[in-house]
Amino acid sequence: MTDPSARRTLFDGIADEFLRDYPRGARLVAVSSPDAARSAAAAESLREALAGRGVGAQVATAPGDGAEQLRSEVVAPFRTAGADAVLIVPGSASLLAERTRGLWHYSLWLIEGDEVPHTAATALVDVTDPNAPTRRLADYCAVPPSFLT
């Protein structure tokens, strides 16, 4: 049996890393994976970690897979508000697609087991054991040339 505090410890570390690099302003974070429930659970864990550090953070669901809809319905209103806050958007791999990856200050890609890491993510988190996730480092030199993200 794993210790659920390991999950909290991991997301506390990610929150600290994120806040060190992006301490103020309207900041955007993508939490993506092949599984929507996995992304949503991790987004909530990150929101809790940021809230524990006194940072206003909210989770907003990505509206489908369209880049323009994401920009107009989620990103633009958040940026326009100009709040000193963090918006966490959980979703699928489309959040890190070529047309959307530049929207985010920070991005997480969640993997289970032998799933292929997403090369555009800021951080990789292995959630094979959801109560004891771990950071994973990927050797992108070993990614086959035919693998496109």
Q: What is the mean pLDDT of each run of 10 residues along the chain (149 residues)?
A: 79 98 97 94 98 97 85 94 95 92 96 88 95 83 55
DSSP letter assigned to residue 31: E
Q: Give residues with Cβ within 8 angstroms of 111, minimum separation 6.
A: 33, 117, 124, 125, 126, 127, 128, 136
The torsion angle over the Cα atoms of residues 94, 100, 102 and 108, rounded to 10 degrees, is -20
Whether pTM > 0.85 for this model: the answer is: yes
> What is the DSSP pairing of strand 57-59 with strand 26-32?
unpaired
